[in-house]
Amino acid sequence: MNKLFRLACLLLFILATASMRGAGPKDYRYTTVPNDPLKARIYTLDNGLKVYMTVNKEKPRIQTFIAVRVGGKNDPAETTGLAHYFEHLMFKGTNHFGTQNYEAEKPLLDQIEQQFEIYRKTTDSVARKNIYHVIDSLSYEASKLSIPNEYDKLMTAIGANGTNAYTSFDVTCYTEDIPANQVENWAKIQADRFENNVIRGFHTELETVYEEKNMSLTRDPRKVYEATLSALFPHHPYGTQTVLGTQEHLKNPSITNIKNYYKMWYVPNNMAICLSGDFDPDSMIAVVDKYFGSLKPNPNLPKLNLAKEKPITTPIVREVFGPDAESVALAWRFPGAASKEAEILEVVSQILYNGQAGLIDLNLTQQQKTLSAYCYPMSMSDYSALMMQGRPKQGQTLDEVKDLLLGEVKKLRNGDFDEKILEANINNFKLNQLYRLDSNGARANWFVQSFVNGSDWADEVNQLNRISRLTKADIVAFANQYLEDTNYAIIYKRQGKDPNEKKIAKPTITPIFMNRDAISPFLKDIQGSQVTPIEPVFLDYSKDLSQLKTQNGIPVLYKQNTNNDIFELTYLFDMGNNNDKALGTAAQYLEYLGTSDMTPEQVKSEFYRMACSFSVYPSSERTYVELSGLNENMPAAIALFEKLLADAQVNKEAYANLVQDILKKRKDAKLNQMQNFSRLTTYIVYGPKNAATNLLSEAELTDMNPQELVDRIHGLNGFKHRILYYGP
């Protein structure tokens, strides 16, 4: 009997303990991956919301990304541009903020929605104009009750930076950089925004989207991008529609469709919160669950059943027209971002072009065979692509540039490249990862890409190990399988008037009430909240930085890098183009020079092997000579750099080519709207004589003896300067 009694007591004790545990803090489960440089925790809340966390105590701030796995490819075919437009509307508020009286505002918003449904189904132009007049009148009345830009005021109240969002084909992502002591307020605001969005200010925001679309019609790079996608993906939304949408659909929007879209996709089991910064993970997940845990999932989240693209068997040719200088683009199709093929493509792309020692770098850029040439991988969830682009020199045709680019692809297929570049690639991938780990934005964005592309985090962490095992034979086999002579798209960007450039006419809109002094109770609550202050830490030059001198008396300002194995070394000269306008040209010329015992190609290859790089940048008042890279190779990199500065050899042919290229680039710049706009701005601020005009003229360039430029390079270290060093 005693035994039974003791057993019963023990059972009661266990039950009581379990009950108390349940009443205490919730036990949040998370996954981790061994050897993860981010030491990431990945949680999944009960409603399906993913939460990615990595702690970085370097500064008391947190980068937050809220990613929704929906984008332009999810737009209904009859209302393209919807995902992007809704991104704009997410900043308009909820039933708690952005309004002075939601109960009075809602009937007006409902009427606006009804009128837009009538408007989009009406074809008679006079009737449409009359309906829009009704919409404008209703919107004017509704604006008396709204508080535009109150979301911005909320972010200002909590000290947020980088308030923004972006929409691609695969994701819509909302970004904030917040102080570490404002987590609770941030979560309260964001959860309300994602759970209780109210569509207001619709027709005025539509005007913004119209303008964005109109601007895109005059941006030649966007035209090339869209033409490339349409050629590679004729059966997939990547190619059949655009993120900004068609003009016809933008002119006939549907608030009802947008609301249905919001309810369908903006649900926790289709979202991820990605965080990097100074916080305690246990406290953070509790706050996230408190505010986001009540969001209702969508158990019937639709899956896109898209037709598989057929193999490309003959080059697909497209042409686009616009004011910019002519160029040519080539593109090959690959599987999606989470695939093994997309991973190998990253390596292949680096062998072709890495800015220093790729096949394109050494054989085209270094030898000045094109005005510019490069390639890069373009990764998306369902498919990826390799993009190659080139601009012709004076007198060169686009087909000549195309053939030069295809020639480098052929060398790749034939294995005509140094196997040592594979080891150099690994060093540079390591360097890029160190830079990624140094930035909260890059760390959090890594989470976003993994979530959107559906990759396993363990695969992300171990990518470097896998690609380090790739051999030259693997690369050659891959290139022969995917980079054929016949399975690519070619887009000729030609100069001329674009026949498709028909801008959307914007309707007349009555200016709305701004209500700048109005404040919602929600905003008052946030403004009045008490948080633990963050004590500022001020830089003390006498303690936080070391000041010393080199053996030959050059002043050095030094800060130890305790975060990673990257070094940055700068020789700083208090003279610039205002002192000598040939300095900029000398810096450009240095890119094409070797030494008495090394060719320019050998210099570039050696720097790339060490995962180090250099630049000489003359501004108006100062000249910055910079060297950076992996710390383990710093001594060798400095030695090579000093050797190049002291022993650069004149190359007259390279200088003659450089002059022609400089003049062609100046001519091309006059065709580019953004460059013209930048020069106009400089003119307004500084007048007719400014840094932008402090350049060598055509005659000065042509008459210049290149030895004078090399003498400037040789004599650089003879000028008074300082050294800035940040490294381990």
pLDDT tens, residue by residue, 527-578: 999 999 999 889 888 889 999 999 989 999 999 999 899 999 999 999 888 8
Helix axes 398-413, 340-352, angle to 10 degrees: 120
Q: Checking DSSP bridges between strand 566-573 and strand 623-630, what pairing results, if any? A: antiparallel
As a whole number of angstroms, the distance between CA 115 and CA 113 comes to 6
* Mean pLDDT, residues 24-37 taken together: 89
The two structure tokens encoding residue 618: 């003359």
State whether residue 242 is helix, strand or coil: coil
| CA 391-410-325 angle, 5° bins | 10
pLDDT, tens only, 145-163: 999 999 999 999 999 999 9
d(CA 294, CA 290): 8
Say yes or no to pLDDT of 247 above 70. yes
Strand pairing category for 327-335 and 161-167: unpaired
Calculate mean pLDDT across residues 391-403. Answer: 97
Average pLDDT, the chain: 92
Of 298, 342, 333, nearest in space to 315 by CA: 333
Using 50, 70 and 90 to split pLDDT, how confident is the model at 1?
Answer: very low
CA-CA distance, 351 to 342, in Å (whole number)?
Answer: 14
Q: Is residue 132 over pLDDT 50?
A: yes
Over residues 506-522, the pLDDT tens digits come to: 778 888 888 989 999 99
Amino acid at the residue 480: N
Q: What's the pLDDT score for residue 207?
A: 79
What pLDDT does 20 receive? 34
Buried b (16+ CB within 10 A) or exposed e, 691-707: beeebbeeeebeebebe
In whole angstroms, give the CA distance from residue 482 to residue 333: 8
Residues 664 and 371: beta-carbon distance below 8 Å:
yes
pLDDT band at 23 (very low <50, low <70, confident <90, very high): very low
For residue 10, name the pLDDT band (cuts at 50, 70, 90): very low
pLDDT category at 22 given cuts 50, 70, 90 is very low
For 333, residues 6+ apart whose C-beta sits below 8 A from its C-beta are 232, 233, 309, 312, 383, 384, 385, 487
Residue 16 has pLDDT above 60, yes or no: no
Q: Output phi, psi for 629, to 5 deg.
A: 150, -155
Distances in Å between the alpha carbon of 554 and those of 545, 559, 571, 573, 715? 16, 16, 10, 12, 16
Question: Which has more pLDDT, 39 or 245?
Answer: 39
Buried-exposed string 374-408: b where 16+ CB fall within 10 A, e elsewhere: bbebbbbbbbbbbbbbbbbbeebebeebbebbbeb
User: What's the CA gap between 610 and 115, in Å, rounded?
Assistant: 64
Output the pLDDT for position 76. 87
How many residues make up the chain in this entry?
A: 728
Average pLDDT over residues 697-723: 92
Reported confidence tier of residue 11, pLDDT bands at 50, 70, 90: very low
> Tens digit of pLDDT for each residue in 590-608?
999 999 999 999 999 999 9
CA gap 432, 354 in Å, rounded: 12
**Is pLDDT above 50 for 19?**
no
pLDDT over 70 at 88, yes or no: yes
Report the percent of the chain where pLDDT is more than 90. 82
Tokens of 537: 């830490």
pLDDT in tens, 628-654: 999 999 999 999 999 999 999 999 999
pLDDT at 206: 78
CB atoms within 10 A of CB 512: 18
The reported pLDDT for the residue numbered 7 is 46
* Lowest-pLDDT range of 6-20, 86-100, 313-327, 447-461: 6-20
Say what the pLDDT of residue 9 is: 46
Closest by CA position to 74, among listed 206, 262, 205: 262
Under 8 Å between Cβ of 334 and 311? no
Side by side, the strands of the sheet bearing 488-495 are 316-322, 488-495, 327-335, 383-391, 372-379
What DSSP string describes 356-383? Answer: SSSHHIIIIITTT-SSEEEEEEEE-SSE
Q: Which two tokens stand for residue 328?
A: 């040519």
Query: How large a percentage of the chain has pLDDT more than 70?
Result: 97
Question: Mean pLDDT over residues 706-722, rounded?
Answer: 91
